Structure 1
Amino acid sequence: MMAEVSITKGEDIVVRTREAVELLGGVHKVVGKGDKVFIKPNIVDGAPFITGEVVQLETIRVLVEECFCAGASEVLIGETPTYRRQTETILQYKKLADEMGAKFLELNNYPFVEVNVENPRFFKKVRLSKPLLESDVFINVPTLKTHASCGITVSIKNMYGLIPPEDRVLYHTLNRVEEAIVDLYKAKRADLIVVDGTYTTFHLGPRPIEDFKETFRLNLTLAGFDPVAIDTISAKILGINPSSLRYLKWAEEDGLGTRDINRIRILGVSLEEACFGRAAGTADFINNRMNELKVMNFNACTGCLQAAVHLMHVVRGLRNIMGGDRRIICVIGPEAKVDFIGKELRGENDVILLCGYCVAPTFYNCLSGVFIPGCPPQPEDLQRTLKELLSRQS
């Protein structure tokens, strides 16, 4: 069976959002008379709309209107907030809900319910918002962005806004964010996904604020029912190889959808017309911001890219013992080439770290460096190895 993903393009958010949903058969395909509908926009920390971090208000306006027109008895707009104050964005969301007869819920003010995960990737139980679980219809409304932990944050990663704040911290601490989002989606699948691609944001995300300069206007809306297909097409639009996204591979293996482009039917604007194709990858962001660290990415998966982000923070913390001209070369990915790496070396002040099992052949092919095993390497191993290495050389 083919998965369908609609893509619409244009400056008018209302027009293209409505068109994207209508190409799939309309909201009434999932919303019936008397249904309680839960809409989950990506609001993050209530950043300004122009940053691309937050779903545009007009997108939600269309969906609320369409749900009531389809016969919904109640429409909830919910997010677990990470903001500490009522930003202008949050106030506008609340005003919209009041005007349209919907309800805006800050989910940390409501109970969370433990849910069993069938055939879990890692977590046998997860906690999700009770108002979500009590709803008849779940509409998932993400933005279109890159992310350090998962490569992109679109439909599947948007589940993170439906869990308790302490669980977010736990999954990050365990270095299991990708496993968590797959298990969360298995615990509660969306009935409809509408992606607000008005802007796209390229960053390690969702903060620091200086990364907002990597925001571009795309004027896109995507819609579909298959989260894996949606995220696959989203990755291609951003110029990211879907096969590099671990969570997407796992989601397909666990029956959440398809990554096979030959099994995805595009409705509306073609993929070629929608393609932006110049995403700044994790390695690019690190290399542009760190003189002491160079990440050489040879088609690494998101596991090792996340390890590179951890390494960036470690290097920042060790600047006082590194010396001004010392540089860490972090090699990741199964396609590492010894000759290519050698051309990038400046001399004896470069320290080579070969990170992950997939670069083991490079290590055994006599490239001088320190091999850090793991799939991916764990943060504590990266920190310990680098500290020991620098202390021996100081």
Structure 2
Amino acid sequence: MTDRRTFLKGTAAVGALAAITDMETLFAQEASPQAASGIPDLVAVRNGTRAEMVKKAVETLGGMQAFVKPGQTVVIKPNIGWNKAPEFGSNTHPETVATLVELCKQAGAKEVKVFDHCCHNGAYEGSGVKEAVEKAGGVMVDGGNEGQYVQTENPKAKKFTSAKVHKAVLEADVYITCPPLKHHSGSEMTACMKNVMGTVWDRGAMHKNDLHQCIADAVYFRKPDLCVLDAYMPMVRNGPVGKDTNDLVERKTLLASRDIVAIDSAGAALLNKAGKIRHVLLGEEMGLGTADLTKLNIRRINMA
């Protein structure tokens, strides 16, 4: 049998990425010597509650105080596009969002704002996110008012060179993205890069002009400081809304990283699509992060 380290050393980037193809191989990789200490590039946690896994992942990245300083304003961007109850997996689970709000408040944040540019009316309430956020001390911000979006140029973009971006993202001291992991009929996957679509006013322009390139381009409007991917019950078909709970599979997993490309690359592996999501590969080409998971210091945590 070929030694695994020899194989990885001799493969190209996409080939090496394919070595981590699904949840089991993501968690089965042996930790490198440097992974035992220091701050990892990516944290992969499984078999806890959503709140437990969020807290553990953020703690492993240095704690929320590594991202949020006392007196700062934080904006959290979940996916709240659909007026669907939490059990359908269409939106970020309220427990995930509320836990992030709590951690930010504990770190001394002056204000924690939460918003999305929803596709359905009533999504804030129907998703359960509004109630959870307000109970945790956060503030829901209107994402459906064009007046809250500011025309912004994107000089590093290849196609999505200008757009109206929500001022909460542009003005916040700290920006956290926290979508659920889902199948998507247009982009193949919803994860942290795709979640950026909810920060701009004209999403239709992205769909009409090479969606994958525009997703990668849009990250440049403002890269998140912290990325959290809720993969507790990923939607594996009929996304982004889903038909019923049969579209979900139980993974009991949560990912966290400062690197938006790395976390989406790991998310693709959880959907058995490693190396196949074009906007993730474009993100690496554009210098937004690292898609080759074999190059990363990954901290794997099993809370069982």
Match of 1:72 in 2: 109
- 1:222 aligned residue (239, 249, 255): 255
Match of 1:121 in 2: 158
Distance apart, 1:134 and its partner CA: 1.1
Count the aligned residue pairs. 265
Q: Percent identity between the aligned chains?
A: 29
Instruction: Indicate how the Cα distance of structure 1 residues 117 and 3 shifts in structure 2: closer, same or farther if over 3 A, else same.
Output: farther
Instruction: Indicate how the Cα distance of structure 1 residues 206 and 127 shifts in structure 2: closer, same or farther if over 3 A, else same.
Output: same
Give the 5 Å matches for 1:1-394.
4-85=41-122, 88-90=125-127, 92-109=128-145, 110-164=147-201, 167-172=202-207, 174-207=208-241, 209-210=242-243, 212-242=245-275, 244-269=276-301
The answer (yes or no) to whether the contact 1:13–1:198 under 8 Å persists in 2 is yes
Secondary structure of 2:215's match?
A: helix
Whole-Å Cα distance in 2 between the matches of residues 43 and 246 of structure 1? 24
Secondary structure of 1:199's match?
A: strand
The answer (yes or no) to whether the contact 1:40–1:139 under 8 Å persists in 2 is yes
TM-score under structure 2 length normalisation: 0.81
Distance apart, 1:86 and its partner CA: 5.4
Q: Which has the higher helix share?
A: 1
The answer (yes or no) to whether the contact 1:3–1:226 under 8 Å persists in 2 is no
Secondary structure of 2:52's match?
A: helix
Whole-Å Cα distance in 2 between the matches of residues 221 and 86 of structure 1? 23
Letter in 2 for 1:95: E
- Structure number with the bigger relative contact order (C-alpha 8 A, sep ≥ 6) is 2
Secondary structure of 2:233's match?
A: strand
Distance apart, 1:246 and its partner CA: 1.6
Letter in 2 for 1:128: V
Match of 1:298 in 2: none
Instruction: Indicate how the Cα distance of structure 1 residues 17 and 264 shifts in structure 2: closer, same or farther if over 3 A, else same.
Output: same
Whole-Å Cα distance in 1 between the matches of residues 220 and 40 of structure 2? 18
Once superposed, what is the RMSD of the aligned Cα atoms? 2.1
Larger Rg: 1
Letter in 2 for 1:101: G
Whole-Å Cα distance in 1 between the matches of residues 49 and 173 of structure 2? 30
The answer (yes or no) to whether the contact 2:268–2:277 under 8 Å persists in 1 is no
Q: Which runs of 5+ in 2 are unaligned?
A: 1-33
**4+ long deviations beyond 6 Å:** none
Distance apart, 1:186 and its partner CA: 0.8
